[in-house]
Every structure is written in structure tokens, then in C-alpha cells.
Structure 1
């Protein structure tokens, strides 16, 4: 979270007391078991996109292409700095937790979430919980709330809700080899929250649970290394349901908190990935990527992989960005083809000034739906968009059939499901050996499949798993079993491999009771009452919750009420559904007394 600037909370002891009484959780609660994003896991960061544009993109692009989720920019009230030209970093300076930003209001945010869910796409919020706005400016935020340094009346943390490290005159971090400073001093003057304080934790939990009540599926936790693991563990343990959490934890030098410390409470961004893969595609040294996991700090199951993000684009760390054209496109395609981590795709706006905000009208409002006028929209590039389908087809398979010329040309398979060739050298003409079943496959890196037709080149794989291809310099080929034109399944699936099933139960409860759905699948905790899918009471008396289940599958389930250690099952036999092949399904039930 580099380059986040400064901009500016009033004490209310009564509010603090009320919040503590309402939250009322133990100081050292255990975090939930790590959630995961599921089989359809590719994340696209629609950086600074407005809510209405994201909703449209989910319906028209992301859902049809198979993206699993969208990382959206922070939705909380932020500073307004029109004199500075609406820079991108103003969104990372909270003034309050009201859902009113230049990208839209609370209603628009809620509509976006429901629209994306209808398209089978999850929403992950970029959550800024380490700090509030800094001290360089005062004024009114995007929802009209006034503020200045350490005083944010809309969220009255009070002066003692912040760290005042007192070491460096202005309280900024000076020694990056000192863990205490990193987690108790200020990041470029941003008011550093005392996340060890119960009252602060309560406010943060309330904010995140409010987003969950609107259907948010998870969080990218900004600046996680600036907060101790124990503080985050306590906050995460209080969140409703089981949101997917991935944490921005930049690897540093001696004395700095390590990203590996945070893997027990959620996934972690693997900054080495962009360095290693970006370097390889920039310089054409691809053969060393065969054993990529051994070059990473984090295990695959703990990592979110990315070539670049909004920070590394601007601070010069990224080895490749959208500005590098073909080499960047190939590196993104490789990330979607190779089995490591949860892939996060960047979708940018173009810039020459690294502080510039997104394309906007004179009042700072934005519109990205047409992917024009300065929006880069890398996620729509064929080598990214179609490789999401490749990634989904290969999910759960390992690396196989590796081939390399020892330098700038490589090819590999994903078991019997997919095969890719990457060429950063001269023309490559070769017969490749794969584990694919015999058939004719559309090269999705260079064409689209529609029905039984490929708009680009199709390759025939023989009964021995071989095909011959001429791959141009700086080109690639990508084949997968869901893009066959003849042989086996001849048309791609028309539905989704997983279905986002929303359980809605009209259930009357008493204070302290919560409603869960359990069932005969692992996603529904296999009838174990210690788990289950927590339903939200946001639309009480209807309790709602969404879980991904495999398509075309018969599922048994029932509702339970939990109140502490007390568990009450609804009466009657097990309920049953068939998930079908649509991307979403809503089940409306009434509690059986």
C-alpha cells in the first residue's frame, strides 16, 4: 500500500461503551478456518471502477468468461481533494465507513453485488482497516462527513483509538527493520488505528459485517503487515459466515513481519510471483519456470498470484504492466495456465503520472463500461479472458508433459484437461506430446469458440495425444477440453460447473439465535453442527446465505438455529434440491417448527 497520501475523528465515550456492549466478544477469539474462493477462483481487480460499470461487466463479460470474483476498490467514505485532481490514492484514506464514494452510493453498491451474484461472480472488497485519513488536509469526505487528523466524528474513535508512536517527530515509520515501528507508527502520516483496542476492533468488525450483510463474499485486507496477526485474527473471528480473506503483506527485509506469518488466518499476496514470472517473460528466460513453486515464499494453497497490481504499477516494482503489450499478455496467460496460487488479474486505467486518478468527469465521477477513454481493460484481452476458461477447465490438475528448449520456449499440460505453449523466441514448429484425449481443439489464445465453431486455428490431437503446431515468435497456443470442436464433448458447456446457491429461509428467532444451513456435502459441513453456512439476517425474518455447489447435483439439507452451544434442528425430513446447470439458484423455504 505504497503512495497513499494524507488527509484527515472526535471522541465519544458513550458511543465507545455502546459499541463494546454490542460487540461483546472475547479478547482472544480464535479465527475461523481459512476460506477459499472455490473452483472458479480467478479474481479480476477492476481498479477504481464505479459500481454500475462493474455490475454491467459481471453480466456481459465476467460471468460468461468464467471469472470467479471481482476485487472492488474501497467502498467507504474517503477524502475529497478536487484541487489535487482526484488522485487514485484518495480512495485509501477513510473518513468514515458510510458506503458513499465517487464510485456510487450504498444502493448502487448493493445492486452491483446482487447483479454480479446473478452472473455467478463474487465480490471481494479492498478493506482499509489499518488507518484513517492523514493529517495534511481537512474538510468533508465523499459523504459530507467532516474530519481532521485523529478526529473523524462519523466514526468517533477518539484520540486514544490511534497509535502515537512518538519516535520520529511526525509519528511516521522511519526504521523499516523495526517490527514495532511498522505496526505502531504511521504509514506516510495516515492515522494508524489501535487495532489491539476492543473499541476499534468493534467498529472495524461492524463495517466488515455490514458489507457481508449486503452479500460481499470476502476481503482483500490492505496493509495487513502493519497490523499484528493476533489483531487481525480477532477481527476475522467475528465476521459473519466464512468470507474469503486475502491479505496484502509485502515481503521486506530483516526485522519486517513476514508474509508467511499471516497464512494461518487467510491467503496472502505473493509479491515474488510478479518478480519471477515478469522477469522471465520480459527477458525471454522461460525454462526456469518449470519449478516455479520452489522459487516462491508461500505455498500454492496460501498464495494469491499476480503479475502486477495498482501499487507495483506505480512504484516501479512491477516487471511488466499493460504498457509492455505482448510480453505482459503472455505473462498473464501463463499465470492462468500454470498451477500455482489463486490468480489475480489486473484491469487498469492508463496513466503517465503515477498519482493520476481514473478517467473522470469534472466532479470526479467515473464510468468504465465501454472500456474506452483511458481504461486499459486488460481482462478483456483474449489471452486473458479466454485463458480464464482454460484455468477453470484445468482446475485441480497438476503440471504434466513439460517441454522446454532450455531457454525461451516452453510447453506444458494440465493432466488430461489442457495444454499450453509459450514462445518468446523465434518461430517454433514442433509436434507436442500431451495427455489430452483425441479430438479437435480450438486454440483459445488466438480464437473464440462459439457453439461448434472456432474463429481461429483448431488443432487435431491424435490418439497418442500429439498435435503439431507452428507457433510464431512471441506467440502462444492454448487448448482445453471445454473448447473442442470434434471428438468427445463437441461443444463447450452452456452452464456453470458450480452453482451459487442462495438459501433463503423465513425463520423467526429470539435474541442470540442465528440460522445456518447444513447438508450432506462438505460445502454444507457434512451435517456437522459445528459448521454449516451462516445465513444473514439483513432481510429478517428471511435469513439468506450463498454457497457454491457443484452443478447438476442432488443435495440434501436442513436449517438449524444456534444459540451459543445450543443447536435446534427444524422438524421433518431432509430437504432436497438439484442444483441444475444455471450459474445461480435461489431456494426459498420456511422454517418447519
Structure 2
């Protein structure tokens, strides 16, 4: 305690001598929702900074994505003995901006490029812990450390919780928030010094132009600790937190809503369950059951939720046998689930963009030294689901319909559904093998509309590269949707 107080005093004195300006503390709360009209977030998992910047200009901006979530930018441990797994990037060594994805200047260039394309940048912030090293280690910026509780110039033993063992009981709140997640050294986030260092890192990100943060492992920090760190931020920013719901556990996602939005893991579980056709209990499910999907399903209120089908953690559960979440290997079923996610009016949608992996720990495509390869969306090493026609087309749909209510619901009682979004859009999803042919009742004005699932709309020439449907004066159109396909039209893609 005495030594920690001395460090704090010395740091303040040094800042005073150098004439440093300490920003006024932020006394507000996190932004309640992503600002702007473009709400869809895409997670470009493990992409290099230069590739993210290029993708913002060439794809994300033109397609209407509102923000990109990038992988942790802080120096991370390097684990060649484990094959450079993806999770090494979630084990900080320092808060210097140098990873296998690029250096600080490349990070800054990426932020500027994305802003130039109208795309915000959200950083995956790892602030609950440091490494899980069993001994000395080396970081991606060349930093070294003697053990997992000592990081020269940053943290020492007293900056970590005394419970130096893994979490054994998730029914015990204290253990979940004081013991070690997967053996990772758990930071004492109630400490003024630790809070200061974390805030210093996040403020450096904000100074580079970052627009928000995904707080990794938020469940393993008391909500009040996160709030106290937020109070030290230099400006209001968008924050969403990783809080995995566990049935019967004392820590719940609702506790974190006052800090910002929260990942709603149950959204992906429930949508996947319906599209897969059976639940863990073996009861047959169907997508017609999604008619009331939303907050009433025991999930967070829509305005607090970041909804998604899969993310970098849950898609790897396919290798554990404990849970089945749809991911890119599920093909057409996964594509249709994302159409529903983006077409429905629940939460802030987050789209996953993966690299191909064949084992739970596999890292991104890399060279012999573990540095990440340049991204090539060729469908082999990099999957690039965010570019898939169904997903990319539905991003524009989501932007066009905004917060319009769901209406004009239709289903065959099984795995064919259709629904409208007020007078702004209409979606048809056919999860069955045979074609769906019928007349649909919508709230759309009369006119001809581009099917954005199968074609691109040109706003200048008002033309469509794919099929279109014609809505009559009664708001009806007739169409045939092939098996395992979808159709979507919206007022922003009206041909005539």
C-alpha cells in the first residue's frame, strides 16, 4: 500500500514538472447506443491494421457498416510453443500498441482510413487480466517479464488479486471476480493505481481517434470497477461489455447496463436453436417460433443489447460438444440466421468475420514467425462472412428500416416465415427444402423494389443488378423463394 501510494505521488509530480495537462474527469455515462444511423458492427477478427483500413474504404463504408470491432491492439504475449494461438492476443504484456497485426503508426492509419470511409472503430479492450504465463515470457513489442505477476514499469504483485488459482465455482460471485479466469493473472481493478493505468491506456486509444470499446471479460470485474474506470475517460464513448449469461449464476448481464451496452449471448443461442431445428433438450424447434423474438425471451432490453449469431469464442464451442452455435461451417443455415438477425428489430447487430480454423486454439493465417498474413477473402484462409451477399445486403436493409416495428408476420407454422418492418421493408426466409411461392402482404408503398439478397441497388441510376419485386397499391407482392434462400426489399432500394 505504501509503495503504491508513493508511485502515484511520483507519477503526479513528474506530470506536473513536465507541464502535462490532466484531462478533466468524465462524469457522464457511456453512450447508450452507437451514434449515427448505421448501427451494424462487424468484427474483423485478427485482421491486420492495414487490411482493416483498406476494407473500410473498399467494403465496409460502401456497404453501410457503421463500425468495425478490431482485435486487442496492446502488446500481447508470444507463444510459439503453443503454435501462436488466437488467445495469446488476449494476454497483455504491456499497453504499447504493437501486435502481430501491426504497429502504432499502422493502427493510427487504420483509424483515419476507417473514419474517411464513415466507419467507426471499436477496440477489443483486455483490462481484466494480464498473461497466464507459467514463467518468464516475451511480448509482441519485445517486452519481457519474469512471471505473470510482474510487468516491469507497469504492474507488480500487489496489483493482482490474492486468489491465485483458477475459478472453480461460478456460483460464487467473489471467486468469479477475484480468482483467475483460465489461469490469467487477475488485476486488482478496485485499486486506484490499476484503474489509472487502464484509463491511461484507454485514453491513449481515444486520443488516436478510437470511437468505443468492447470490454473483454467484463463479468470478471465488478460493474462498479468498470464504472470507476469509465469516469476517468477523457470523453464520452460507446462501450459494450462481454458478460456471458449462466443459468442460476449470481452475476447477470443486467448489472452492467448502467456502464453501456452488453453482449447478449442468448440471442445467438436462441436463434441458432430455432434454425438448427432442435434444442439441447431434443425438442423439435422451428423458425416460426421466432414471431415474438426479443426482450420478452428472458434477454436484455433491446436498447441495451449487442446481438449476434456467433463471435470468436462461441464459434469455437463446436469443438467442445457443450453447445451448438451456428457459424460459418453451417453454410446456408448460418446465412439465413444472419438474415433474420439483421432483419429483426432486436439489439445492435454484430456480424462475425472469421478466419478458417480446424481446431479450437488455431491462430490466424500467419507466416513462420507468427505474424498475421495479409487478408485475402478467397474463402480458404479467410472466410470474410461480412462480404457474403446475404449479409452485406441486409446491412443496407437494417440501415433503411431503422427502428421500425415488426409487422405483417406470416409463417407456414414451420420453417418458412416472412415479416415487415413498418412501411420501410419486408423479409422472407425459407428454411425448408422446397420453394416458397405465395402473395405477401406488406406495409410498403406501391412500386418496384430490388431484392437486396440477390442484387445490388444503384441509388444514382435506381437500377438493380438482380431480381426485383413489384408491390401493388394494396401493399402486396407475389414471389417465389427457393429452398434455403431468402428475399429482402426495403424503401431505400426502390427501383422506380
TM over 0.5: same fold? yes
Partner of 2:486 in structure 1? 476
Q: Deviations over 1:478-523 (max 9, x none)?
A: 001111211xxxxxxxxxxxxxxxxxxxxxxxxxxxxxxxxxxxxx
List aligned pairs for 1:154-553, cutoff 5 A. Answer: 154-155=153-154, 157-165=155-163, 171-283=165-277, 285-293=286-294, 294-316=296-318, 317-372=323-378, 373-425=380-432, 426-450=434-458, 451-486=461-496
Q: Is the 8 A contact 2:23 2:234 kept in 1?
A: no
The answer as to whether partners of 1:145 and 1:154 remain within 8 angstroms in 2 is no
Q: Count how many residue pairs are aligned between Structure 1 and Structure 2.
A: 470
Structure-1 separation of matches of 2:7 and 2:490: 57
Q: Secondary structure in 2 aligned to 1:245?
A: strand
Give the C-alpha shift of residue 447 in structure 1.
Answer: 1.5
Is this contact kept in 1: 2:28–2:236, CA < 8 A? no
Q: For the residues of structure 1 that align with 2:325 and 2:359, how far apart are their CA atoms?
A: 18
Aligned residue for 2:34, secondary structure, equals coil
* Contact kept? 2:342, 2:395, Cα under 8 Å: yes
| 1:134 match: secondary structure | coil
The within-5 A match list for 1:54-133 is: 54-133=52-131
State the TM-score, normalizing by the size of structure 2. Answer: 0.91
Q: Which runs of 5+ in 1 are unaligned?
A: 1-10, 487-593
Deviation, structure 1 residue 361: 1.0
Deviates more, 1:17-26 or 1:178-187: 17-26
Whole-Å separation in 1 of the counterparts to 2:142 and 2:31: 37
What is the alpha-carbon distance in structure 1 between the residues aligned to residue 133 and residue 373 of structure 2? 30
Task: Report 1 or 2 for greater relative contact order, CA contacts < 8 Å, sequence distance ≥ 6.
Answer: 2
For 2:11 and 2:220, locate their aligned partners in 1 and report how far apart those are by CA, in whole Å: 24
Indicate the larger mover: 194-203 or 446-455.
Answer: 446-455
Equivalent residues of 2:29, 2:258 under 8 A apart:
no
Structure 2: which 5+ residue stretches go unaligned? 16-20, 278-284
Alignment CA distance shift 1:418-1:96 (3 Å): same
Cα deviation for residue 449 of structure 1 reads: 2.0
| SS, match of residue 423 in structure 2 | coil
Task: Give, in angstroms, the shift of residue 180 of structure 1.
Answer: 0.2
> Does the aligned pair in 2 maintain the 1:267–1:302 contact within 8 Å?
yes
Q: Cα distance 1:142–1:14, how it changes in 2: closer, same or farther (>3 A)? A: farther
Partner of 1:336, secondary structure, is helix
In the TM superposition, residue 356 of structure 1 has moved relative to its aligned partner by 0.5
Which has the larger helix fraction?
A: 2
Aligned residues: CA RMSD: 1.9
Please give the TM-score of this superposition, normalised by the length of structure 1: 0.77
Contact kept in structure 2, 1:20 and 1:198, CA below 8 Å: no
- Between the aligned partners of 2:387 and 2:5, the Cα distance in structure 1 is 50
Q: Distance in 2 between matches of 1:203 and 1:237?
A: 13
Q: Give the Cα separation in 1 of the matches to 2:135 and 2:69.
A: 28
SS of match in other structure, 1:177: coil
Q: Distance in 2 between matches of 1:79 and 1:33?
A: 30
Q: Is the 1:186–1:192 contact (alpha carbons within 8 Å) kept by the matching residues of 2?
A: yes
Deviation at 1:253, TM superposition (A): 3.3
